Amino acid sequence: MKCAIAMAIRERIEQEGLTQQEAAAFTGVAQADVSAIVNARVWGFSLERLSAILAALGADVRMELHISYSRKKHGSFHIVTAC
């Protein structure tokens, strides 16, 4: 999920023609953080922070969690993203 958000951030920065420094100023994060995100080094970032950065770039961000139970011994985990 974090990588999908990072890819969306990178795409948005590219679409707007922003430099990393401009994106940092626009979103209120350090340029080094923007560099880490666009290079998919996201282990130090929460989903909330990445989502806030993407929203600051003008994206509407929605995450959904669906939980259902079955009689199987083990359930499954799926991530669906749309950019």
The domains of the chain are located at 1-83
pLDDT of residue 77: 63
pLDDT of residue 60: 87
Q: Which residue has the higher pLDDT, 57 or 64?
A: 57
- Cα Rg of the chain (Å, integer): 15
pLDDT of residue 20: 96
Burial classification of residue 27, based on how many CB atoms lie within 10 Å of its CB (0-12 exposed, 13-18 middle, 19 or more buried): buried
Give the global pTM. Answer: 0.78
Q: At 76, is the pLDDT very low, low, confident or very high (cuts 50, 70, 90)? A: low
Q: Which CATH class is domain 1-83?
A: mainly alpha
Q: What's the rounded mean pLDDT across residues 8-35?
A: 96
SS3 content of the chain, % helix, strand, coil (to 5): 50, 0, 50
